[in-house]
């Protein structure tokens, strides 16, 4: 059974992007956050990104208006009751996401698919918190969601084939290219991407080169569209630290040991683009 109505929980960096691409692809979308103000801030970002799309002639004014028409914001979890697919994009904390999956299991229909946009956490552990664990799956989007092509589908131990097929159809409908990976710390993407970002942070800490030059090495030498430090600022250094801490705890690998510099920046509230400063100033 395909989806017509999509719920998105968390209207931050990722949630608003997921709501955006879903509404633009023709789905009815309910965007939830803990306060109506936060949900509306997410909606305002979607409006802004669609306006840029119109300016660049990638989106017609009619398509923009239609996408906004299909979006509804809420601070009440029960408003997600009619959604056949709910995707959570709340902060990277296992307990928080488990609580949410438990609560969503109570609100949503038995055949609804519950998906997590986690960058690293165990889907199998998250699925265990839901009453229908076979309908839990990872849908890992990339930032900025409306521009990045990849959608990483993560299969928990409990995820059914039917659930994977249903989210495959959703991924195709929103125009993403899918990879399907087994539940494993950091999956296929974060495991490699975070390793690079943490090593770049350690190099900066050791004074190997400036932040700009470390990034240039990867951009000009390896053809990366963005340097690992610049990318950390875009992702959010708090988000990156949470992932590193989790991967380090799970794997014990020194590759993922969070560098002091990353911890210090987060403690100072320098979280990257969203606060105006991280490795770079904005
Ligand atoms: P964010 O901090 O920008 O947004 C989180 C949102 O969740 C905020 O709007 C917050 O108000 C809301 N929230 C907090 N508690 C909530 C609750 N109990 N119920 C509902 N909403 C709640 O975070 P983000 O960067 O969007 O990351 C969200 C998830 O996406 C994380 O799991 C992260 O690992 C993953 N992710 C992030 C990126 C990235 O580049 N930032 C990329 C891929 C995946």
What digits encode the pLDDT tens for the residues 266-282?
Answer: 999 999 999 999 999 99
Judge if the beta carbon of residue 98 lies within 6 A of ligand 1: no
By percentage, how much of the chain surpasses pLDDT 90? 99
236 contact partners, CB below 8 Å, separation of at least 6: 13, 271, 272, 273, 274
pLDDT at 255: 97
Mean pLDDT of the chain: 97
pLDDT at 103: 97
| CA-CA-CA-CA dihedral for 4, 10, 12, 18, to nearest 10 | -20
Q: What is the pLDDT of residues 197-212, one digit of tens each?
A: 999 999 999 999 999 9
Q: What is the pLDDT of residues 143-155, one digit of tens each?
A: 999 999 999 999 9
Which of the listed residues 7, 13, 40 should we mutate to test ligand 1's pocket, taking the one with most ligand atoms within 8 A of CB? 13
C-alpha span between 98 and 16 (Å, rounded): 21
Flag whether pLDDT at 35 surpasses 70.
Answer: yes
C-alpha span between 185 and 276 (Å, rounded): 30
Flag whether pLDDT at 1 surpasses 60.
Answer: no
C-alpha span between 164 and 146 (Å, rounded): 22
Write 103-110 long-range contacts (CB < 8 A, 24+).
Answer: 103/77, 104/9, 104/77, 104/80, 104/130, 105/129, 105/130, 105/131, 105/132, 106/131, 107/77, 107/78, 107/80, 107/81, 108/7, 108/80, 108/81, 108/83, 109/81, 109/84
Judge if the beta carbon of residue 91 lies within 6 A of ligand 1: yes
Closest residue to atom 28 of ligand 1, CA basis:
89
Q: What is the pLDDT of residues 127-183, one digit of tens each?
A: 999 999 999 999 999 999 999 999 999 999 999 999 999 999 999 999 999 999 999
Which of the listed residues 74, 90, 102, 125 should we mutate to test ligand 1's pocket, taking the one with most ligand atoms within 8 A of CB? 90
Residue written as token pair 């004014």: 61
Flag whether pLDDT at 49 surpasses 80.
Answer: yes
pLDDT at 266: 98
Residue written as token pair 């990339």: 142
pLDDT at 250: 94
Q: Is there a cis peptide before residue 144, judged by omega within 30 degrees of 0?
A: yes
Instruction: Give the distance (Å) from ligand 1 centre to CA of residue 207.
Output: 32
Closest residue to atom 30 of ligand 1, CA basis:
89
Judge if the beta carbon of residue 186 lies within 6 A of ligand 1: no
Flag whether pLDDT at 29 surpasses 90.
Answer: yes
């Amino acid at each position: 059974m395909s989806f017509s109505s999509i719920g998105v929980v968390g209207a931050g960096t990722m949630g608003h992007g997921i709501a955006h691409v879903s509404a633009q692809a023709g789905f009815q979308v309910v965007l939830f956050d803990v306060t109506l103000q936060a949900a509306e801030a997410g909606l305002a970002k979607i409006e802004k990104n669609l306006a840029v799309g119109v300016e660049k002639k990638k989106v017609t004014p009619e398509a923009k208006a239609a996408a906004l028409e299909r979006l509804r914001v809420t601070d009440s979890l029960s408003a997600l009751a009619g959604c056949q697919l709910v995707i959570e994009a709340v902060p990277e904390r296992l307990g928080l996401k488990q609580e949410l999956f438990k609560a969503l299991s109570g609100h949503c229909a038995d055949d609804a698919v519950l998906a997590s946009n986690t960058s690293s956490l165990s889907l199998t552990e998250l699925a265990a918190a839901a009453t229908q664990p076979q309908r839990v799956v990872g849908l890992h989007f990339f930032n900025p969601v409306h521009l990045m092509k990849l959608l990483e589908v993560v299969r928990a131990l409990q995820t059914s084939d039917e659930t994977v097929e249903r989210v495959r159809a959703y991924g195709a409908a929103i125009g993403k290219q899918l990879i399907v990976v087994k539940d494993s710390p950091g999956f296929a993407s974060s495991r490699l991407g975070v390793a690079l970002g943490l090593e770049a942070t350690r190099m900066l800490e050791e004074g190997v080169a400036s932040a700009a030059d470390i990034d240039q090495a990867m951009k000009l030498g390896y053809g990366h569209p963005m340097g690992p430090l610049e990318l950390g600022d875009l992702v959010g250094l708090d988000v990156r630290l949470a992932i590193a801490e989790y991967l380090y705890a799970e794997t014990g690998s020194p590759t993922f040991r969070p560098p002091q510099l990353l911890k210090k920046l987060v403690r100072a509230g320098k979280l990257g683009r969203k606060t105006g400063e991280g490795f770079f100033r904005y």
